Amino acid sequence: MSLDVAAIRSEILKGLQRIAPEADLGALNEDEDFRRALEIDSFDFLRLLTALHEQLGVEFPEADYGRLTTLDALANYIAGK
Amino acid sequence: MAEFLMPSLGADMEEGTLVAWRIQPGDKVRRGQIVAEVDTAKGVIEIECFLEGVVEQLLAAEGVTVPVGMPLARIATPEEVEPGTPRSPSAQPKPVQPKAAPPEAIPSSPAQATRQKVAPRARKRAEELQVELTRMQGTGADGEITVADVERAAEFPAPPPTQQATVSTAADDNHGPTRLRRAIAAAMARSKREIPHYYLQTTIDMARATAWLTAENQSRPLARRLLPAVVYLKGLARALRDVPQLNGFWIDNQFVPSSAVHIGFAISMRGGGLVAPAVHDADSKSLDALMADLQDLIPRARRGPLRSSEMTDSTITLTSLGDLGVDAVWGVIYPPQVAIVGLGRTQLRPWVADGELVVRPVLTATLAADHRASDGMVGAKFLEVLQRQFQQPEEL
């Protein structure tokens, strides 16, 4: 699967906005820990991954969760799948 | 005939605004049915009926703010609407007569309408606290005034009758985080004022639980994966079976144990504050069922609506702050519960096992308990039993 990184990013941001409707995602840095910045707990993180899996068909083994902390890392991970 | 009263949805609730009725005069209602939506400091709550019968009359209009314990609706109980006992021998029995409300049933003067029922303990407590019983509305069975009603009246003296029901306007500032903040402030201040907390702490080896959960999740698709929280919930619920002295309520100066284990699960709200709705019967649910409960409960806690039973049934609270990276959390008991369990994050730490220094994922568990209801012995036993639950995760 070779998804456009920009399209992936927009899916991630859509998912984040659903979880954190009040957040200004424009202020989020690409290399910032978005879970910390947006106060996303493990429940919401699982919801985000589930939504991305449904939209993009990507699998996220639990062992990889720890690597998926920034917008860049998550988008590149999905693009590399 | 019975009155359905504005329920108290927690130690911190004084009044609620009726947002919408889900019933109409003439409707049959059964126990547990959602009959109304009420706006509270904790958002809009779906109110479940605890009576069974036919709705005779709605006594509060939508948009009106009603104090806890004031009647919201009149419900004819099954005996009154029994088909075999028609009210008039000639006519067909009508299920309801919404227009035929007797004149004394004016909501603003309910105390004169019916003879007051007062629990003996409540009467005694009212004397102690010098609370006037005449204008009070009870929230007990058949509107009986309970000790809790008296204590609430002592804490929040009733406003003059003219102010008892007020239509809220857009100008009200009692929405959102500020109002939730005030409700939390009231409940927590009451807790610290009334409950002599004692605190215990233990460190738990989570190697087995973590390994088991990791293996379990490896074989599961994303949507069916389990979070550590469900392991915590089940472990806590199981531990309470062995130590029931921490599961229940402090009411009328004594501990009232609960046979059911309903765990209030603390959920932080985006924008500040928290609510701890009940995960019902956590001791008898599978981990999958508990996960489904959380998936239902967490979004509703954050965006509404929760149900009244979820606001009032909890027999203990669990606060798990591991996601926030803290090592340990010491909770403040939510009255009338008698204990709160706090779990920090699971992290790798040096650990001694069988005389060897090893690295293990460990977790700090704390207990804050009401010293009126239990002693450190009980608390220590509880933490030991809790610790053991996490050593046999496959049993959970």
Structure confidence by residue, pLDDT tens digits, B116-132: 677 777 777 777 676 66
Could you tell me what percentage of chain A is helix, strand and coil, using 3-state DSSP and rounding each to the nearest 5? 65, 0, 35
Smallest CA–CA distance, residue B282 to chain A, in Å, is: 18
B293's CB contacts (< 8 A; 6+ apart) are: B279, B280, B285
Of the candidates B169, B188, B174, the one whose C-alpha atom is nearest the C-alpha of residue B40 is: B174
Q: What would the pLDDT profile of B294-349 be if each residue is shown by its tens digit? A: 999 999 998 889 999 999 999 999 999 888 789 999 999 999 999 999 999 999 99
- Using CB atoms, pick whichever of A20, A43, A60 lies closest to residue B222: A60
- Mark yes or no for CB contact B227/A50 under 8 Å: no
The whole model's pTM is what?
0.77
Q: Which of B312, B302, B334, B319 minimizes the C-alpha distance to B44? A: B302
List CB contacts (< 8 A) between A53 and chain B.
Answer: 222-223
From residue B159, how far is each of A9, B8, B133, B164 by CA, in Å?
A: 55, 17, 14, 6
Using alpha carbons, select from B22, B14, B3 the residue that is nearest to residue B106: B3
Q: What are residue A34's phi and psi, to 5 degrees?
A: -70, -25
pLDDT tens readout for residues A20-49: 888 888 888 888 999 988 989 999 999 999
Q: Give the model's pLDDT for residue A39.
A: 87
| Contact predicate A38/A28, CB 8 Å | yes
Q: Do B218 and A62 make contact, defined as CB atoms within 8 angstroms?
A: yes
Residue B100 is predicted with a pLDDT of 38
3 state DSSP class of B28: strand
Residue pair B144/B117 in contact (Cβ under 8 Å)? The answer is yes
Tell me, yes or no, if A34 comes closer than 8 A to chain B by beta carbon: no
Share of chain A above pLDDT 90, in %: 52
Question: What pLDDT score does B233 carry?
Answer: 98
DSSP output for B149-203? HHHHHHHSPPPPGGGSSEE--TT----HHHHHHHHHHHHHHHHHHH--EEEEEEE
A49 contact residues in B (CB cutoff 8 A): 222
Best B222, B290, B318, B326 residue to mutate vs chain A (most A CBs within 10 Å) = B222
Q: Do A49 and B298 touch (CB under 8 A)?
A: no
Please tell me if residue A20 touches chain B, with a CB cutoff of 8 Å: yes
Task: Tell me which of B226, B268, B323 to substitute to probe the interface with A (most A C-beta atoms closer than 10 Å).
Answer: B323
Q: Residue B283 gets which letter from DSSP?
A: G
pLDDT computed for residue B214 by the predictor: 95
Q: What residues have CB less than 8 Å from B284, skipping those under 6 apart? A: none
Are the Cβ atoms of A63 and B225 closer than 8 angstroms? no
For residue B73, give both structure tokens. Answer: 């609706």
pLDDT, residue B373, reads 98
**CA separation, residue B264 to residues B23, B175, B289, B363 (Å):** 29, 23, 16, 20
Confidence bin at A2 (pLDDT 50/70/90): low
Q: Decide if B270 and A42 are in contact by the 8 Å CB cutoff.
A: no
Q: How far apart are CA B293 and CA B285, in angstroms?
A: 10
Distance CA B91, CA A1 (A): 75
- B323·A63 Cβ contact <8 A: no
Count contacts between A and B (CB, < 8 Å): 33
Q: Do B222 and A42 touch (CB under 8 A)?
A: no
Helix (H, G, I), strand (E, B) or coil at A1: coil
Task: Tell me which residue in A20, A50, A62 faces B270 most closely, judged by beta carbons.
Answer: A20
- Which residues of chain B carry a pLDDT beneath 70? 80-116, 128, 130-132, 134-137, 141-143, 152-177
Q: Kindly identify which residue of chain A lies nearest to residue B230, measuring between CA atoms.
A: A43
**What does each C-alpha distance from B350 to B144, B206, B222, B325, B354 come to in angstroms?**
58, 13, 32, 18, 13
Q: Which residue has the tokens 């738990």?
A: B204
